[in-house]
Amino acid sequence: MSDHIRFALAALAIWRVTHLLAEEDGPGDVVVRVRARLGDSRLGGLMDCFYCLSIWVAAPFAPAVARRPHDVPLTWLALSGAACLLEGATSGRAATDGAGLDREGASDGMLWQKAKAV
């Protein structure tokens, strides 16, 4: 299998697993129950953010995709980035960066709301 195909397949798999964990109920509502149990904990917050979660989901894929060990960190970030691009293209959130900022940098107040909650 070529490197390009391996990268593309891994990126699709990372998007799928991340989307399942962050956005879906899962088979038998298993995932939604896990998210509910985690609540507002740090791990629970991670499960609510596709962009954050994709970094960790991409980690085990990177060594399988990278040709050389020193390529793993770059491959890891590239795979997460590819999954984020797929998410933006399929979710309708392409105009924002996931933190509530549009491309011009104007805030919708989400960061301020989160900061006040902490």
Per residue in 68-100, pLDDT (tens digit) is 999 999 999 999 999 999 999 998 755 455 555
Distance between CA 26 and CA 98 in Å, rounded? Answer: 22
Phi, psi of 102 (to 5 degrees): -80, 180
The DSSP letter of residue 103 is T
Give the global pTM.
0.74
Joined together, the tokens standing for residue 13 give: 């798999």
Q: What is the pLDDT of residues 51-76, one digit of tens each?
A: 999 999 999 999 999 999 999 999 99
Residue 23 burial (C-beta neighbours within 10 Å; 0-12, 13-18, 19+): middle
User: Is 80 exceeded by the pLDDT of residue 102?
Assistant: no
